[in-house]
Amino acid sequence: MSTAATSTDLQTVFVPSPETLGAVLAPGARPPRPSAWSASVTFGWRAMLKIKHVPEQLFDVTAFPIIMTLMFTYLFGGALAGSTGAYLQFFLPGIMVTSVVMITMYTGVGLNTDIEKGVFDRFRTLPVWRPSALVGMIFGDVLRYILAALVILSVGLILGFRPDGGVMGVAAGIGLLVVFSFAFSWVWTMFGLVLRSEKSVMGVSMLVLFPLTFLSNVFVEPSTMPGWLQAFVKVNPITHLVDAIRSVMAGSPDAMSIMWTFAWSAGFVAVFGFLTMYRYNRR
């Protein structure tokens, strides 16, 4: 009788050191973290590419402003000012504000759509400045605001609008409008994070925008309104913005209205920007 001896081969497990892994996986120097400005501009370029691939998005900044300008000029011009030309001098800065401020709501709609698709979940995992995705998205929308303002201005010039402030006055007016619209967009980013669907964002946005734009000095002088309505119109941020743009386009800047425009803009960014980031970091 014989006995068989069973031998077990012992294998040596090699555990690489962190230095070895680093040399294999990342042989080069680690790239620096992008700055806040660089990350925001990159996300802004993403918004530009979305417009490139879906040019129908520009309908609201081209056809909509033209329709608004033509409709209100020829609908109210003769009744309120005696002629469309006289009314256009008063009306065009106001309709420019109304059209651009109304399209700011699409910032919140687009944000809500991206969130529902899970796009922003990926952005949150990137080693970049946390607010850059939101800031970049609004940077992309700034081009839409400028385009809408230029479209309305072009239509107005064709119809007979003549700004006494010249090119500098017009540029200053569009600059004020862009600054305010950028700040006002943070209101809709908060709604885009809080509300559950893009339809809800659009519904709430219209509920806010209609009183702000129509209960203002866009279409008529506040002096023709009842006293209780004048009280609201005088503190309405849209009224201050319209007064500021009218004054610089007319060549006689109203320092008080311009100051109120910048104050409202800073307030929107401070309040709604903070609330947006608070919600974004905890969603």
| Model pLDDT, residue 238 | 96
Is residue 14 domain-resident? Answer: no
Name the percent of the chain lying above pLDDT 70: 91
Is residue 247 domain-resident? Answer: yes
| pLDDT exceeds 50 at position 141 | yes
Mean pLDDT of 137-160: 90
Is residue 278 domain-resident? Answer: yes
Would you call 66 exposed, middle or buried from its count of C-beta atoms within 10 A (0-12, 13-18, 19+)? middle
Is residue 169 domain-resident? Answer: yes
Is residue 11 domain-resident? Answer: no
Exposure b/e, 167-194, CB count within 10 A at least 16 = b: eebbebbbebbbbbbbbbbbbbbbbbbb
| pLDDT exceeds 60 at position 6 | no
Is residue 5 domain-resident? Answer: no
Confidence band for 134, pLDDT divided at 50, 70 and 90: confident
Which tens digits make up the pLDDT trace of 50-75?
Answer: 777 777 777 777 888 888 889 888 88
| pLDDT exceeds 80 at position 253 | yes
Mean pLDDT estimate for the chain: 86
More confident residue, 109 or 263: 263
Q: How many domains does the chain have?
A: 1
Which residues lie below 8 Å from residue 204, measured CB to CB, with a gap of 6+? 191, 195
Distance in angstroms (rounded) separating the CA atoms of residues 243 and 255: 10
| Model pLDDT, residue 113 | 85
Mean pLDDT of 229-249: 95
Contact 94, 73 (CB under 8 A): no
Q: Which helix (H) or strand (E) holds 22?
A: helix 18-25
Which tens digits make up the pLDDT trace of 200-238?
Answer: 888 999 999 999 999 999 998 898 889 899 999 999 999
Which residues lie below 8 Å from residue 62, measured CB to CB, with a gap of 6+? 147, 148, 151
Which residues lie below 8 Å from residue 198, measured CB to CB, with a gap of 6+? 109, 112, 113, 116
Is residue 44 domain-resident? Answer: yes
Q: Domain residues for 242?
A: 37-282
| pLDDT exceeds 60 at position 5 | no
**What angle in degrees, to the nearest 10, is found between the helix axes of 255-282 and 166-194?**
30
| Model pLDDT, residue 33 | 79
Is residue 133 domain-resident? Answer: yes
The radius of gyration of the chain from alpha carbons, rounded to an integer in Å, stands at 27
| Model pLDDT, residue 2 | 47
* Listed ranges 57-71, 143-157, 235-249; the one with the highest mean pLDDT: 235-249
Which tens digits make up the pLDDT trace of 164-211?
Answer: 999 999 999 999 999 999 999 999 999 998 888 888 888 999 999 999
